[in-house]
Structure 1
Amino acid sequence: MAGSSGVCLGADLAENQLTEIEAARAFAQAIIDTVREPVLVLDQDLRVITASRSFYRTFKVRPEDTEGRLLYELGDGHWDIPKLRLHLEKIVPEHGVMEDFEVEYDFPNVGPRTMCLNARKVFYEKGSHTTILLGIEDVTRQRVLEREKDDLLRQKDVLLEEIQHRVANSLQIIASIILLKAKTVDSEETRVHLRDAHKRVMSVAAVQQHLHASATSGSVEMGPYLSRLCEALATSMIGENRPISLKVSGEGGSATSRQAESLGLIATELVINSLKHAFSENTKDGQITVAYDVSGTDWKLSISDNGVSEPDHVFAQPKTGLGTGIVKALAQQLDAKVETLTGPEGTTVSVTHATFLAKMPRVV
């Protein structure tokens, strides 16, 4: 009786263990089938133990043609890829993982696809056997979109290059026509206005040229940028007989291309204003200084001259000219404030962007 009881008990335990194993297997299969991407479960010899429903659906194969077969034999050998074999046979066993390995292949019944493979080695507490989980993600669409994006970016660069070239040529043509017209008109007042317009067009051309040279970096170093701009302005606007120097100072800093464009135009207008109003024909050792300083997100652009200030030279006056209006409009776009200080030593116009000013508590 005791012997038969022991046999029955052992049989019950074995049946319970078998039931638990089957339940665990069904649970694991349900998890695998829930995953949207195709998944293969391989044994240590890289033989398929099971596969997810998404694998069968994606590659249009049947379980009986997949389970129990070596990975490299699936689909008439289209998974027999040397680099994949290296990863699964050497790298995964040694490191336990394979990530983002891409396979490009013309799969039967599916067509050309780019698949991203990720593998994990599964270790068990008991027993020496291991399994490998192989996840397969179809990234064909993403790679096509990336290539299309790269093509569009290249086309954009070509178009921008063409636009820059056409803008530069157009500005040169406009400047030449204005200068030619200035030589033919009889009115001295009209001639002065035309020459002034010519200088402004040339200054815009200088800004455009320097910005185009810096466009590839995404940001513009203001020190070298203002130096090149002032060199161009000095060449085009200060005659050899005028003893006026134009220099750049300050700690410098960087700005976006859009900000640099506005700052360059502001500097140009203020330099023009100094040349027109700060110095007389008898001026000796005239000097204009362009400075740009940065502190965190705050910055200040200032143009100073040592000339004798005239009423028209004061930017703070209610009635302003074209240049003053341009400066104030550009400063407003930059969320900056324009201030003018005039004294015996000359005039300084500062354009300041200081974000902390708006955050400081008001003192009552």
Structure 2
Amino acid sequence: MTTSSPNIAFHDLVDTLRSALVVLDSSLRVTSANQPFYRLFQVEAGATENRILFDLGDGHWDIPSLRDRLERAMTQDHSLDAFEVEHDFPSIGRRVFSLNARRLPPTEDHPAYLLLAIDDITTEREASRESERAWRLAQTIVDTVRDPMVILEGDMTVASVNRAFLNLFQVTETQVMARPLKDLGEGQWNVSALGALLDKVVPDERAFDGFEIEDEFPALGRRIFKINARKVHRPGNHVTRLLVVFEDVTEARLVERHRDILAAELAHRIKNSLQIITSFVSFEIRRAAEPCIDGYRAMQARIAAVAELYDVISQSSALGPVPVQPYLNGIAASIHSSLIGKAADIEILVEAEPLLIDADKAVSVGLIVNELATNAVKHAFPDGAGRILLSFERRDDEVLLTVQDDGVGHDQTRNSGARSGLGSRYVEAFVKQLGATMARATGANGTTMTVKLPMSILAEAADDHAASPLMAPDGVRYPI
């Protein structure tokens, strides 16, 4: 290094830096450079020092705009920041460099110098360009998707939109870009619940699917949209955005609603038909001989239990999951009206958690309840007074169905005949069909029948391939 350069302590300092540094005098001649510079450009000090910067190599620094900026930095104390040079350099190939320059004011020991830092940003630029290519490809793919899509910034303003969105809602990019989602259209997307979900997508890494909005849309009329959202990253610049997809499900929802109406109407008609059958049975009871009456009444209660299922379905307007509480209430009312009769002091209560059971398993559950409660009515209260409790609850990994009475109780000997009766065989068959188990506890304070059902009985764990709700278990025939 020449003696006109800054003092040796300064050079010791710059040699420890990772950036390539050169020191230029007032004529932009290289007075010195640090070791990272020589290693980066694979040159010797003799081929660099005391030469004008623009004459180095094959003239790759001889750029008019760079010359102008450096001259102003030296004479007018202007800074040079992030000036990029891309070139095929001897020995090292094509590179992209970022240049930053600062003027070192003169002192008593040396004149003014210009310190030029050169950083190799080739890798970053290649990554950025690849990111841009990938982003443009992604945008092209998004534009080919049929569902409307928007990409939102963190502040919920629109950063990008695909053609499907513009075409469906008949808007232009100018009307959409950089505007908050909630302000688009006539405020149809300004829904607090939707805003709360979108706010959690980025910080909580929480995507969501199936949020539905039904509203009147300009030029479209009444529509139903299902909205899905995901967090997306743009590689290279660490920008996080939200991809929001709008699926028009209007036609599907209208079909479902029409289907539900038809299903409810069908359930209502089935219920009415079953009630007509129970009326015929009531007529036969009045004409039947005494030994046949109990059989007719048992059959009437079983038909009423099935009819109650369709009554609940018809009121829910869909052939879907059955709410337990109203279902058991209806069965209890049917038993009371058909079997208890004048024994008005027998009370049937229902305690059920707000659970839903599959419609295809509800008949079996209802008939189990009917048979167990009917048995209690017949045998637990010789004096015609007492209480029967029907309960349904979820406990740990199973569901408990309990029929409990506060009657006289009965021992194994007295019930050996009853257990072999037709009603008991029905119960055992239905319990087996549901994959359940049944236990009995009896004593002086009454009898408790507990059926432990699998969690699959509940609607959220439904088995799509279960038996039809009107199918009797194998080996069981209903008496006529």
**Matched-pair contact (CA < 8 Å) for 1:278–1:310:** no
Query: Identical aligned pairs, as a percentage?
Result: 21
Residue 323 of structure 2 corresponds to residue 220 of structure 1 = yes
Which of residues 349, 353, 357 is equivalent to 1:257? 357
Residue equivalent to 1:143:
247
Aligned with 1:18: secondary structure?
strand
**Alignment of 1:178 onto 2:281:** yes
Specify the SS of the correspondent of 2:85. helix
Equivalence for 2:17: none
SS of equivalent to 1:172: helix
**Cα separation, 2, equivalents of 1:189 and 1:206:** 27
Q: Is 2:186 the partner of 1:83?
A: no
CA distance in 2, matches of 1:123, 1:347: 72
| 3-state secondary structure, aligned to 2:341 | coil
Question: What is the CA distance between 1:239 and its match in structure 2?
Answer: 1.3
- Is 1:9 matched with 2:56? yes
Q: Pick 1 or 2: higher relative contact order, CA cutoff 8 A, min separation 6.
A: 1
Q: Distance in 2 between matches of 1:249 and 1:256?
A: 15
Q: Distance in 1 between matches of 2:413 and 2:373?
A: 14
Give the Cα separation in 2 of the matches to 1:301 and 1:14.
92
Question: Which of 326, 329, 339 is equivalent to 2:429?
Answer: 329
Q: Tell me if 1:154 matches 2:222.
A: no
Q: How many angstroms apart in 2 are the aligned matches of 1:277 and 1:147?
A: 56
Contact 1:220/1:255 (<8 A) preserved: yes
Distance 2:425 2:435 in 1: 15
| Residue 70 of structure 2: aligned partner | none
Native 8 Å contact 2:438 2:452 kept in 1: yes
- Give 1:202's aligned amino acid: A
Q: Which residue of 296, 313, 321 corresponds with 2:396?
A: 296
> What is the Cα-based RMSD across aligned positions, in Å?
5.2
Question: Is residue 337–residue 353 contact of structure 1 (8 Å, CA) maintained in 2?
Answer: yes
Using structure 1 for the length normalisation, give the TM-score: 0.58
- SS of residue paired to 1:266: helix
1:320: which partner in 2? 420
Which 5+ residue runs of structure 2 have no aligned equivalent? 1-28, 30-48, 64-83, 88-94, 98-121, 146-159, 184-201, 208-216, 220-228, 456-480
Q: Name the SS of the counterpart of 2:283 in structure 1.
A: helix
What SS does the aligned partner of 2:177 have? helix
Conserved 8 A contact 1:269-1:327: yes
The letter of the residue matching 1:150 is R
For 2:366 and 2:427, how far apart are their aligned partners in 1?
A: 10
Q: CA deviation at 1:293?
A: 5.0
Rg comparison, structure with higher value = 2
1:274 and 1:305 in contact (8 A); partners too: no
Number of residue pairs the alignment of both structures matches:
291
What is the CA-CA distance between 1:301 and the residue it aligns to? 0.9
What's the CA shift for 1:80? 4.2
Letter in 1 for 2:375: N
> Which structure is higher in helix share?
1
* TM-score, normalization by structure 2: 0.46
Check 1:192–1:238 CA distance in 2 against 1; reply closer, same or farther (3 A cut).
Answer: closer
